[in-house]
């Protein structure tokens, strides 16, 4: 149920003022032209998804959004609705385009030739340390003074929240062993923490729209700095050698009980390196949907419940690797396809002629 | 402050911050390596539900090294990829176990700890200023 809220003006003003300060960051202020020209591909994505071609505006939105792409797209869309419609253009003539890049994966010899343009294809994807050497990730500070205990502790004390059994076994590591299915929760959480934000967002949204509905509420969402501690056996103690920023989202979900579990709130969990609120929320919804087996729920065939579907497609590097390979030369493959189609057409024409 | 605390403090410090403070101690002698600086990653783990079973969240870069001066050993593990930072941290760890310990505490450890505490306090203060007390409004009868 939606309940309207009021108040918080001062806090909101303070948040916005801090936002402005954080946004300003260090060093020279990036000018819009620098962003538009040096981060041209992200600017292009904002224009495309924002459905408004204006490189300077997209760059301005990106700077205002502190580089958060989807936030920048939102600004562009909102701005676009304020623009009066002046008319419509004639259809553009793409055949007359002055091409920066033009390649064909099906035909090697094309009139006008293959034009690679300023492409990342065929580069080695190695960081150029001469370009920006020795950059140290800026550490964020921890907010120590007021203690902020976990919200879930409250519900947990009443026994209304499904227990999250504490363990200390060493979890499996996707970066060391290939993904094996069915995956345990630890493996799933690692995969989700590495997953593409957009993909997780889509899956999470699908659960909200009814594809494996889990009735999620954000029990708690937090973002801040944590220390990273490591055991040093040679010294016989542990050291908090690093401080990192993380985002955590814990959802609580309606659960009327199953054959194996009593009615209670269940949990979904999202945790990300860095400030990634949307992703952390998405992750917690998807994590909850994937728990149907442990909770004795029915598998209703929803994509977000399908562990193999989710885990096999969540990594955008894997996905893009396979997706983009189809633009590389397939001349021989395609030639075979072409021959096949020609042969089938000849056969079809002969059959038709014979029938007439 | 114990040894594990200052090793952590040096690890979390910004390289330039540690360099500036350590500069007051005079030049760092050429290190006699037990283990020369090595940059790698540390897998950061989380817990399911924040409190449950562990899982691998992702990695963080780290640099570690160890050096010696006679019987004494200095160890360091620092966040990031700056090997000079690690070497300096190990040298300071070594000094803190020897006759210059009091001086190093006064000149490096205490100011560094104070700076970290101030940074954290500053951020906490800003967060506190954004705290909000929402009031729910009674919905009208339809």
Give the pLDDT confidence score for residue B63 in this predicted structure.
95
Asked if the structure places residue A127 within a domain, the reply is no
Same domain, A254 and A337: no
Give the B window 32-51 contacts with A, CB below 8 Å: 42-51
Interface test mutation site (partner B, options A11, A14, A129, A141, max chain B beta carbons within 10 A): A141
Interface test mutation site (partner B, options A191, A194, A225, A242, max chain B beta carbons within 10 A): A242
Contacts of residue B57 in chain A, CB cutoff 8 Å? 189-190, 193, 246, 271-273
Same domain, A293 and A340: no
Same domain, A197 and A295: yes
Q: What is the average pLDDT score of chain B?
A: 92
Compute CA distances B42 → A222, A280, B53, B80, B90, whole Å: 23, 21, 19, 10, 19
Cα distance between residue B73 and residue A242, in whole Å: 22
- Judged by a CB distance cut-off of 8 A, whether residue A137 touches chain B is yes
Give the pLDDT confidence score for residue A133 in this predicted structure.
45
Same domain, A258 and A204: yes
Give the A window 234-253 contacts with B, CB below 8 Å: 234-235, 237-244, 246, 248, 250
Cα distance between residue A169 and residue B125, in whole Å: 38
Number of domains in chain A: 3
Please compute Rg for chain A using Cα positions.
26
Which residues of chain A carry a pLDDT beneath 50? Answer: 1, 133-144
- Judged by a CB distance cut-off of 8 A, whether residue B126 touches chain A is yes
Residue with tokens 């070594």: B94
Cα distance between residue B106 and residue B24, in whole Å: 11
- Reduce the DSSP state of residue A115 to 3 states and report it: strand
Q: Give the single-character DSSP code of A31.
A: P
Residue ranges per structural domain of chain B: 3-36+65-123
Question: Which residue among B60, B66, B123 places its CB closest to the CB of A141?
Answer: B123
Same domain, A187 and A278: yes
- Tokens of residue A275, six digits: 């400030």
Q: Prior bond to A182 cis, omega within 30?
A: yes
Compute CA distances B106 → B1, B91, B114, whole Å: 12, 16, 11
Burial (CB count <10 Å: 0-12, 13-18, 19+), residue A20? exposed
Q: Give the single-character DSSP code of A170.
A: P
Same domain, A254 and A333: no
Alpha helices in chain A (DSSP H): 9-24, 32-38, 40-50, 55-64, 69-80, 151-157, 185-193, 197-208, 277-289, 307-313, 316-324, 331-355
- Judged by a CB distance cut-off of 8 A, whether residue B31 touches chain A is no
Question: How large is the ipTM?
Answer: 0.93
- Distance from the Cα of residue A45 to its chain's centroid: 14
Asked if the structure places residue A114 within a domain, the reply is no
Structural contact between residues A267 and B49, judged by C-beta atoms closer than 8 angstroms: yes
Supply the range of the domain harboring residue A45: 30-80
Cα distance between residue A281 and residue A253, in whole Å: 13
Same domain, A310 and A330: no
Q: Give the single-character DSSP code of B109.
A: I
Asked if the structure places residue A308 within a domain, the reply is yes
Q: Do A193 and B57 touch (CB under 8 A)?
A: yes
Same domain, A204 and A58: no
- Judged by a CB distance cut-off of 8 A, whether residue A130 touches chain B is no
Same domain, A156 and A282: yes
Half-sphere exposure of A249 (CA within 13 A, CB side): 27
Contacts of residue A155 in chain B, CB cutoff 8 Å? none
Give the A window 260-299 contacts with B, CB below 8 Å: 267, 269, 271-273
Same domain, A269 and A343: no
Residue A227, strand partner residues: A243
Q: Which residue in chain B is spatially nearest to A174 when comparing CA positions?
A: B56
Q: Do A171 and B60 touch (CB under 8 A)?
A: no
Task: List per-residue pLDDT tens for chain B, 142 residues long.
Answer: 999 999 999 999 999 999 999 999 999 999 999 999 999 999 999 999 998 999 999 989 999 999 999 999 999 999 999 999 999 999 999 999 999 999 999 999 999 999 999 998 888 888 888 876 666 676 665 5
Which residues lie below 8 Å from residue B92, measured CB to CB, with a gap of 6+?
A: B6, B10, B18, B22, B74, B104, B108, B109
- Distance from the Cα of residue A141 to its chain's centroid: 25
Which residues lie below 8 Å from residue A106, measured CB to CB, with a gap of 6+?
A: A330, A331, A334
Same domain, A214 and A300: yes
End-to-end CA distance of chain B: 64
Asked if the structure places residue A111 within a domain, the reply is no
Chains A & B: contacts with CB separation below 8 Å: 198
Q: Give the single-character DSSP code of B25.
A: G
Same domain, A278 and A306: yes
Q: Do A14 and B126 touch (CB under 8 A)?
A: yes
| Residue range B86-109, pLDDT digits in tens | 999 999 999 999 999 999 999 999
Q: Do B54 and A171 touch (CB under 8 A)?
A: yes
Report the candidate in B50, B15, B132, A113 with the shortest Cα–Cα distance to residue B92: B15
Interface test mutation site (partner A, options B9, B40, B56, B114, max chain A beta carbons within 10 A): B56
């Amino acid at each position: 149920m939606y309940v309207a809220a009021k108040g918080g003006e001062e806090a909101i003003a303070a948040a916005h003022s801090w936002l402005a300060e954080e946004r300003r960051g260090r060093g020279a202020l990036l000018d819009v032209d620098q962003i538009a020209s040096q981060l041209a591909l992200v600017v292009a994505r904002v224009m495309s998804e924002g459905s408004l071609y204006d490189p300077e505006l997209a760059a301005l939105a990106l700077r205002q959004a502190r580089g958060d792409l989807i936030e920048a797209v939102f600004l562009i869309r909102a701005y676009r609705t304020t623009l009066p419609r002046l008319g419509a253009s004639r259809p553009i003539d793409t055949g007359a385009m002055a091409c920066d890049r033009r390649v064909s994966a099906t035909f090697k010899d094309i009139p006008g030739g293959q034009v690679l343009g300023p492409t990342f294809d065929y580069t080695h994807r190695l960081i150029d340390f001469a370009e920006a050497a020795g950059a140290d990730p800026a550490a964020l500070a921890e907010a120590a003074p007021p203690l902020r205990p976990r919200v879930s502790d409250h519900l947990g004390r009443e026994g209304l929240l499904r227990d999250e059994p504490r363990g200390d076994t060493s979890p499996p590591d996707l970066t060391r062993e290939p993904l094996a299915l069915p995956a345990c929760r630890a493996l799933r959480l690692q995969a989700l923490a590495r997953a593409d934000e957009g993909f997780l967002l889509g899956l999470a949204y699908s659960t909200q729209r009814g594809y494996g509905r889990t009735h999620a509420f954000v029990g708690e969402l937090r973002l801040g700095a944590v220390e990273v501690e490591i055991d040093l056996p040679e010294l016989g103690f542990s050291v908090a050698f690093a401080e990192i920023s993380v985002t955590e989202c814990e959802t609580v979900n309606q659960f009327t009980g199953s054959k194996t579990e009593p009615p209670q709130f269940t949990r979904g969990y999202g945790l990300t390196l860095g400030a990634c609120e949307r992703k952390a929320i998405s992750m917690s919804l998807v994590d909850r949907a994937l728990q149907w087996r442990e909770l004795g729920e029915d598998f209703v065939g929803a994509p977000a419940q399908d562990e193999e579907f989710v885990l096999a497609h969540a990594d955008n590097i894997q996905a893009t690797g396979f997706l983009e390979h189809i633009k590389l030369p397939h001349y021989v493959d395609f030639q075979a396809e072409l021959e096949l189609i020609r042969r089938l057409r000849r056969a079809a024409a002969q059959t038709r002629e014979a029938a007439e | 402050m114990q040894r594990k605390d200052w090793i952590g403090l040096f690890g979390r410090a910004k390289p330039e911050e540690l360099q500036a403070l350590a500069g007051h101690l005079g030049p760092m002698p050429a290190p006699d390596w037990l283990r020369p600086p090595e940059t790698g990653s540390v897998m950061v783990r989380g817990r399911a539900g924040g409190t449950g079973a562990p899982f691998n969240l992702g990695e963080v870069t780290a640099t570690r090294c160890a050096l010696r001066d006679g019987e004494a050993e200095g160890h360091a593990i620092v966040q990031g990829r700056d090997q000079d930072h690690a070497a300096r941290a190990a040298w300071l760890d070594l000094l803190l176990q020897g006759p210059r310990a009091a001086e190093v505490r006064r000149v490096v450890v205490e100011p560094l700890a104070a700076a970290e505490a101030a940074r954290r306090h500053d951020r906490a203060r800003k967060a506190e200023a954004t705290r909000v007390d929402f009031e729910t409004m009674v919905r009208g009868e339809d």
